[in-house]
Chain A
Amino acid sequence: MPNARYTDLQLDALRELANIGSGTAGTALSSLLGSTIELSVPSASALELAEAVEAAGAPEDVVWGVVVPVSGQVDATALLVIGDDDARTLCAMLGVEADTDTGRSALGEIGNIMVSSYVGALATMTGFELDLRPPESTRDMLGAVVASVLAAHSDAHELALVLDSELEVAGEACTLSFMLLPTPAGVAELLHRIGLGD
Chain B
Amino acid sequence: MGELVASASAGDVLVCVGLGSCIGLALVCRRGRACGLAHIVLPDSGGREGDRPAKFAERAVPALIGALRRHGVHAESLDAILVGGAQMFSMSTGMEIGARNEAAVRAELQRAGIPVTASATAGSVGRTVRVHVATGTVTVREAGSTEETLR
A interface list, Cβ under 8 A from B: 49-50, 53-54, 59-60, 62, 65, 67, 69, 133, 136, 138-145, 147-149, 151-153, 155-156, 158
Contact = CB atoms under 8 A, between A and B. Distances in A.
A81 B87 CA distance: 17
B126 A50 contact: no
Nearest to B2: A50
Given A141-B126, A151-B42, 11 more contacts: A49-B2, A49-B41, A53-B1, A62-B143, A133-B91, A143-B19, A144-B126, A152-B21, A156-B44, A156-B45, A158-B48
Contacts of B11: none
A147 B89 contact: no
Interface residues of B, number: 36
B1 A153 contact: no
Nearest to A63: B143
B91 A147 contact: no
Contacts of A60: 17-18, 128, 143
Nearest to A79: B89
Tell me which of A62, A69, A141 has the highest count of chain B C-beta atoms within 10 A of its own C-beta.
A141
A155 B52 CA distance: 15
A158 B86 contact: no
18 contacts: A49-B1, A49-B41, A53-B1, A62-B144, A140-B20, A141-B143, A143-B126, A144-B86, A144-B127, A147-B22, A147-B41, A148-B20, A148-B97, A148-B98, A149-B89, A151-B41, A152-B89, A153-B94
Interface in B80-133: 86-91, 93-95, 97-98, 124-128
B24 to A, nearest CB: 11
9 tightest A-B CB contacts, nearest first: A143-B18, A144-B126, A144-B20, A59-B18, A148-B20, A141-B126, A50-B1, A141-B18, A148-B88
Interface in B47-94: 48, 50, 52, 55-56, 86-91, 93-94
B91 to A, nearest CB: 6
